Amino acid sequence: MKRLLYIMLGALLALLGNYWFTSSQKPDLQRLYMQSMAVENQPPVVFIHGILGSKLKDESTDQELWFGPLWRLLFHDHAELALAIDPATLEPQAGSLKPFAIADNTAGKDYYGNVMRTLEEVGGYEPAVPGQAVRAGAKYYYPFYYDWRLDNAHNAARLADFIDQIRQDFGDPDLKVDIIAHSMGGLIARYYIRYGRTDVLDSNDFPVNMYGGERVRRVILLGTPNLGSVKILNAFIDGIQVGFRKIGTEILVTMPSMYQLLPHPLNNWIVTAAGAPLDRDIFDVDTWRRFGWSIFAEDTRARILSRFESAAAGEVYLDTLELYFGKSLARARRFVWSLTVPLPDEHPKLIVFGGDCTLTPARILVEEVGGISEIRLYPDEVAQPVPGMDYDALLLEPGDGAVTKASLLGRDTLDPSVPRHQYSFFPLHHAFLLCEQHDSLTGNISFRDNLLNTLLSID
């Protein structure tokens, strides 16, 4: 009996030892790419952050307001992030708040520091800025930071200027760059490839000119919501939790970029309690008004009015905000469609990385309770479940917590055996799927390993 116990104990220890050995294994990036450090003449890399991903400061006071000091990040409502709206033109005004750096490490959380250090310390890339003199043979990467609150077409035009200056710095009119883009940054990159600095969002014609496509070799997208994000819809309804406070919907709706992250019309994004899809247009302001979402919710309107000295001034602002809301939705509709129209035969193909291990909002639900339509964002909110309905499967799909796998791959369905929708052109080269949360993707060791392998490969 004792001998049997010893054998069983030995087997258990062996299993545990094997578990700890295998679970602690990770690629040795220095060893893998030590010979690549000396490789010359690699295309310059442009690194584009995602939404919330650049630091913003007030140029008039030089005070950093996003992310700012830790106490401010945790306890402030961030109302100063709201864009002013010109009531005559309904154009957003950034004011004195300007981006000045990519967020690397904030409040103990590494956002983009890991990936930039990997490019430098393992890949042998040197950080650079446009307009800087370059050395023959050296490898450079260029962090592109931008005001993530502004329209993505506006920031794509800035990206066009950014890359054109790099080409001038290298003195090579045929130079092509590699792009690494996280989250919303991937949408900016994709718009740039199609249209460069041309704004095509004032009509329903999307004349592709491939301005950016002629200047890009490889495009690496990380956690990009290529068919939008229901998590952003939830944020429009309920705000974004930051620390112990929320960035309220009344602040988010002043930012054109937020609308451009909403679910693409190809998505089945809203359903009944019985699981049937509802025919509702997310880019029609009347949909928001009927459901009482966002600035049409009574509590949100009360918060807005409380910021004004007089009720009359508050009502004037609300009228302007409603007009702006409708205009921003219409422009966002064109933006999402502009990214799904076909491209010419010669175009950069997309290398996609993202998560598929976290249940992620994929739909919202309308439940009739006492004759009133109630919105349910999560399965546990359903008050009168229909027998046999799996609300976890209905409302949530695998993803990274913010972007579903289907959206990441530019598909309207999770099932990979179903053909891509005929109106969704998405030039995917290949994809790598990871077990990682959205805001931790850039630090994932497997991503950084495959990133370097992709950048440094000659084919």
Higher pLDDT, 23 or 281: 281
Tokens of 422: 């005929």
**Secondary structure class of 293 (helix, strand, coil):** coil
Q: What is the maximum alpha-carbon separation in the chain?
A: 89
Q: How far apart are CA 447 and CA 354, in angstroms?
A: 9
Which residue is associated with the tokens 């451009």?
Answer: 260
Determine the average pLDDT of the residues in 232-251: 92
User: For residue 72, what pLDDT is reported?
Assistant: 85
Give me the residue label for tokens 């994932």: 444
Query: Which whole number is the average pLDDT over 255-279?
Result: 96
Mean of the per-residue pLDDT values of the chain: 92
pTM score: 0.93
Whether pLDDT at 339 is above 50: yes
pLDDT of residue 38: 73
Residue 17 confidence (pLDDT) above 80: no
* Token output for 424: 């969704």
pLDDT tens digits, one per residue of 28-62: 998 988 887 777 789 999 999 999 999 999 999 99
Alpha-carbon span 183 to 413, nearest angstrom: 20
Q: Which residues of 182-192 are buried (b: 16+ CB within 10 A; e: fewer)?
A: bbbbbbbbbbb
140-163: pLDDT as tens digits: 999 999 999 999 999 999 999 999
DSSP character at residue 140: E
Share of the chain above pLDDT 90, in %: 81
* Higher pLDDT among residues 15 and 257, named by residue: 257
pLDDT of residue 308: 93
Higher pLDDT residue, 303 or 346?
A: 303
What's the average model confidence in pLDDT over 187-198? Answer: 98
Q: What are 226's two structure tokens?
A: 């290529």
What's the confidence (pLDDT) of residue 69?
86
Q: Centre a 10 Å sphere on the Cβ of residue 430 and count the other Cβ atoms it contains.
A: 9
Burial class (CB in 10 A: 0-12, 13-18, 19+), 431: middle
CB 101 within 8 A of CB 133: no
Close Cβ partners of 176 (under 8 Å, ≥ 6 residues apart): 43, 214, 215, 216, 217
DSSP summary character for residue 296: G
Helices (H) and strands (E) in the chain, counts: 15, 21
d(CA 389, CA 394): 8
Distance CA 200, CA 336 (A): 12
Q: Give the residue-averaged pLDDT of 335-344.
A: 95
Q: Name the percent of the chain lying above pLDDT 70.
A: 94
* pLDDT at residue 16 is higher than 70: no
pLDDT value of residue 455: 93
Residues 266 and 407: their CA atoms lie apart, in Å, by 11
Q: What is the per-residue pLDDT for 10?
A: 53
pLDDT at 37 (0 to 100): 75
Neighbours of 117 (CB within 10 A): 15
pLDDT at residue 21 is higher than 70 = no
The lowest-confidence range among 211-220, 242-251, 357-366, 396-405 is: 242-251
Helix (H) or strand (E) holding 359: strand 358-361
- 17-26, 90-99, 245-254: segment of lowest average pLDDT: 17-26
Reading the block at residue 59, the tokens are 């140029």
- Range of lowest pLDDT (73-77, 111-115, 137-141, 305-309): 73-77
Alpha helices in 24-126 (DSSP H): 29-33, 70-75, 113-121
Is the distance from CB of 204 to CB of 334 less than 8 angstroms? yes
Residue 20, pLDDT above cutoff 50: no
- Looking from the CA of 224 toward its CB, the CA atoms found within 13 Å total 31
3-class secondary structure, 321: helix
Q: In sequence order, which residues have a C-beta less than 8 Å from that of residue 1 and are 6 or more positions away?
A: none
Beta-bridged to residue 372, according to DSSP, are 369
Assess whether pLDDT exceeds 60 at residue 369: yes
CA separation for the pair 264, 402 (Å, rounded): 15
Say what the pLDDT of residue 458 is. 78
Residue 3: its pLDDT value, please?
Answer: 52
3-state class (DSSP) for residue 384: coil
Amino acid in position 12:
L
Give the lowest-confidence range in 10-19, 208-217, 240-249, 285-294.
Answer: 10-19
In our burial notation (b when 16+ CB lie closer than 10 A, e otherwise), range 336-372 reads bbbbbeebeeebbebbbbbbbebbbbbbbbebeeeee
Task: Judge contact between 226 and 406, C-beta under 8 A.
Answer: no
Cα(402)–Cα(407) distance, integer angstroms: 10
pLDDT of 1 > 70? The answer is no
Please report the pLDDT score of residue 243 as a whole number. Answer: 84
- Cα distance between residue 228 and residue 106, in whole Å: 26
- Taking alpha carbons only, the member of 219, 179, 269, 226 closest to residue 420 is 226
Distance CA 299, CA 276 (A): 30
Q: Could you tell me the CA-to-CA distances from 29 to 54, 355, 430, 459 in Å, in that order? A: 27, 21, 22, 20
Q: What is the mean pLDDT of residues 369-396?
A: 93
Taking a C-beta distance cutoff of 8 angstroms, is the pair 459, 349 a contact?
A: no
| Tens-digit pLDDT profile for residues 125-142 | 999 999 999 999 899 999
Q: Taking 60 as the threshold, does the pLDDT of residue 9 lie above it?
A: no
pLDDT, residue 291, reads 94
Phi, psi of 433 (to 5 degrees): -110, 135
